[in-house]
């Protein structure tokens, strides 16, 4: 009797988790494109610097712990997506440089979603978002042992509200230095 109940619970859990799946494997997520992107950032002397390409973001002469806390660390995603947009590739490249310059610091990459969708689905989507950012950092040379990805789903919204603007701010992955 107990084995039969366990079997049906297992079948139910499997069915629920498979409903949350996607037909696109995580390994097929495009994270980098060689298309040049203009990036405008503040130079070391306060002037504005416009640079071409992902690898030419001006991060100054020295990478310090202060820079890690002041560098942008949030990647935003489209609805129901974990594909990293072109506009965030320079942010990922800058954080990869910071992480490689400080190999003793760990990175926690937190995946988040808006409140639409079920809890299990949002946890899975948040994990895919965190993993996509982790994989992009790994491609740029950050060791996997230095990073950890975790999903919070819809449990930790950045902005409260039920409009599209609030939802857009909650569909994100945050890079946290520890």
Q: What pLDDT sits at residue 121?
A: 94
CA-CA distance, 55 to 100, in Å (whole number)? 14
Q: What is the mean pLDDT of residues 153-162?
A: 90
CA-CA distance, 52 to 42, in Å (whole number)? 14
Within-domain flag for 171: yes
Within-domain flag for 89: yes
Of residues 92 and 1, more confidence is placed in 92
Q: Which helix (H) or strand (E) holds 110?
A: strand 107-112
Within-domain flag for 93: yes
pLDDT above 90 covers what percent of the chain?
A: 55
Task: Please say if the pLDDT value at position 58 is more than 90.
Answer: no
Tell me which of 28-42, 113-127, 142-156 is least confident.
Answer: 28-42
Q: What pLDDT sits at residue 14?
A: 54
Q: What is the mean pLDDT of residues 125-154?
A: 95
Q: What pLDDT sits at residue 65?
A: 47
Within-domain flag for 111: yes
Within-domain flag for 23: no
pLDDT in tens, 76-112: 999 999 999 999 999 999 999 999 999 999 999 999 9
**Number of domains observed in the structure of the chain:** 1
User: In CATH, what number is assigned to the domain containing residue 93?
Assistant: 3.30.1330.60
Within-domain flag for 49: no
Work out whether the CA dihedral 73, 29, 143, 87 comes out positive or negative.
negative
Within-domain flag for 136: yes
Decide if 138 contacts 74 (C-beta within 8 A): no
Range of the domain at 68: 62-177
Q: What pLDDT sits at residue 42?
A: 42
Model pTM score: 0.62
Task: Please say if the pLDDT value at position 60 is more than 80.
Answer: no
Within-domain flag for 82: yes
Tell me which of 35-39, 102-106, 123-127 is least confident.
Answer: 35-39
């Amino acid at each position: 009797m107990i084995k039969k109940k366990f079997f049906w619970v297992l079948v139910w859990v499997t069915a629920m988790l498979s409903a949350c799946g996607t037909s696109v494997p995580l390994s097929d997520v495009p994270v980098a494109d060689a298309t040049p992107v203009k990036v405008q950032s503040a130079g070391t002397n306060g002037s504005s610097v416009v640079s071409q390409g992902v690898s030419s973001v001006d991060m100054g002469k020295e990478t310090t712990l202060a820079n890690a806390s002041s560098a942008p660390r949030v990647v935003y995603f489209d609805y129901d997506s974990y594909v990293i947009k072109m506009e965030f590739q320079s942010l990922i490249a800058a954080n990869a440089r910071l992480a490689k310059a400080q190999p003793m610091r760990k990175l926690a990459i937190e995946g988040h979603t808006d409140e639409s969708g079920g809890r299990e689905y949002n946890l899975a989507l948040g994990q895919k978002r965190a993993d996509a950012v982790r994989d992009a950092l790994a491609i740029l040379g950050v060791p996997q042992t230095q990073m950890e990805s975790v999903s919070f789903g819809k449990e930790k919204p950045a902005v409260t509200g039920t409009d599209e603007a609030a939802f857009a701010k909650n569909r994100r992955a945050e890079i946290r230095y520890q």
